[in-house]
Amino acid sequence: MKNLLFASAILLFSFSSCSDELDCCVLEGNPQKWELVEMTGSFSPSITTGNDMDWQEYYILNTNTGKFTKSRTREGVETSASGTFVFNSTEEEHSIKLTYPSDNELIANCTGDLTEVLIIESENTLKGTWAPCDGPGLKYQRTNN
């Protein structure tokens, strides 16, 4: 029943709300890998990419199950966490809301809770929402696994 409800929600989302060029592209392909490609700091032009970033990171989104895994490698140590996600859409923006089952160091948000939001900028680009509260600006690109 739970899977049927989730599939129905995805179908409903895919036929509504997506009024711009995104065309609900994030629903296509499974699983999806989104890799961190750029970090920005508080001071312009503080932009780092590739191996110059403080860490390497990626998300795996499974649209069939509504589950994700986030992995980060920093100073040779890999840390991972998993949880669930939903797509949100308004006239202003499309986003993905990730929910973690417990607190951990990978949650990148301004609220201090168990959620994280990624803004869908294009069919191949996501943007983190940590920057407004002095976290780094994080940009992710969709890869071909």
Write the pLDDT tens digit of every residue in 54-113: 999 999 999 889 999 999 999 999 999 999 999 999 999 999 999 999 999 999 999 999
Q: Report if residue 49 sits inside a domain.
A: yes
What's the pLDDT at 46?
86
Structure tokens belonging to residue 93:
């923006």
Structure tokens belonging to residue 13:
């989302």
Q: Report if residue 95 sits inside a domain.
A: yes
Average pLDDT, the chain: 84
> How many angstroms separate the CA atoms of 85 and 66, rounded?
5
* Nearest alpha-carbon partner for 32 in 59, 2, 50: 59
Whether the per-residue pLDDT at 1 is higher than 70: the answer is no
What's the pLDDT at 28?
65
The three-point CA angle 130-51-128 to 5° equals 15
Q: Where residue 36 sits, what CATH number does that domain have?
A: 2.40.128
Structural domain total, the chain: 1
The range of the structural domain enclosing residue 64 comes to 21-143
- Report the amino acid identity of residue 91: E
Residue percentage of the chain with pLDDT more than 90: 68
Whether the per-residue pLDDT at 9 is higher than 70: the answer is no
Q: Report if residue 28 sits inside a domain.
A: yes
Q: Burial level of 94, CB count in 10 A (0-12/13-18/19+)?
A: buried
- Report the amino acid identity of residue 27: L
What letter does residue 136 receive in the DSSP assignment?
Answer: P
Quickly count: other Cβ atoms within 10 Å of residue 44's Cβ. Answer: 7
Give the model confidence (pLDDT) of 90-99 as tens digits. 999 999 999 9
- Phi/psi of residue 38, each to 5°? -155, 135
Q: Report if residue 39 sits inside a domain.
A: yes
